[in-house]
Amino acid sequence: MSIEVQDLRKGARFLAVAPLAGTFSASEVTVINISLGGAQLMHAQPLRIGTRAKLWFQVGDVVCSTQARVLWSHLSQHANESGKFVYTSGLQVDAPEPSYAASINALFTRGMIRKDTNSLERKRERLLERERERARATMRTNIISGGLPKDTTPEG
């Protein structure tokens, strides 16, 4: 089974080398990855999909600030290292300002973020796993409802 993943990104995605603590609206967040087109965050409190607010964080003398909108948000299925369930959310930056781009560049040149070269492969793997789970669920439903074809072997 092969799934093709279309790359809809505006630019390269970068992973935080160390946690990047900041805020989105009034919520404390940790930036997981960042790009000119958006960011992925971890946070304790839920964020409403569609919320527009300022994403802000500072690392040393590099201040990163931009307006963004929540596209998706999910509660984790597994507890983190502290035993707590956290949210992961995806933000979209509609019109990145030059200062935002300069901040990303400064973080990259100082080694605080690194280019994510495997994000599309991870996305493809997640989609494949979802497809496998759907197939297993369909199989379970068919078994429970008796919808599987009868054994057509000579012994059956």
Distance in angstroms (rounded) separating the CA atoms of residues 25 and 112:
23
Estimate to the nearest angstrom the gap between the alpha carbon of 79 and the chain centroid: 17
The pTM of the full predicted model, rounded to 2 decimals, is: 0.69
The structure tokens listed for 129 are 């796993």
How much is the pLDDT for 43? 96
Distance in angstroms (rounded) separating the CA atoms of residues 62 and 102:
9
Neighbours of 132 (CB within 10 A): 11
* Mean per-residue pLDDT, 51-72: 96
Q: How confident is the model at residue 147 (pLDDT cuts 50, 70, 90)?
A: low
The helix or strand, by DSSP H or E, that contains position 66, with its residue range, turns out to be strand 62-75
How much is the pLDDT for 149? 56
Mean per-residue pLDDT over the chain, rounded? 84
The structure tokens listed for 30 are 């940790």
Cα four-point dihedral sign 58, 22, 100, 111: positive
How much is the pLDDT for 156? 52
**Shortest CA distance to 49 belongs to which of 77, 74, 13, 84?**
74
Q: How confident is the model at residue 45 (pLDDT cuts 50, 70, 90)?
A: very high
Domain 13-116 CATH class label: mainly beta
Q: Is the pLDDT score of 86 beyond 60?
A: yes
How much is the pLDDT for 152? 55
Counting residues of the chain whose pLDDT is more than 70, the rounded percentage is 80
* Mean per-residue pLDDT, 81-92: 92
Give the highest mean pLDDT range of 3-7, 21-25, 94-98: 21-25
How much is the pLDDT for 81? 82
Using an 8 Å Cβ cutoff, are 115 and 17 in contact? no
Give the highest mean pLDDT range of 51-60, 73-82, 112-121: 51-60
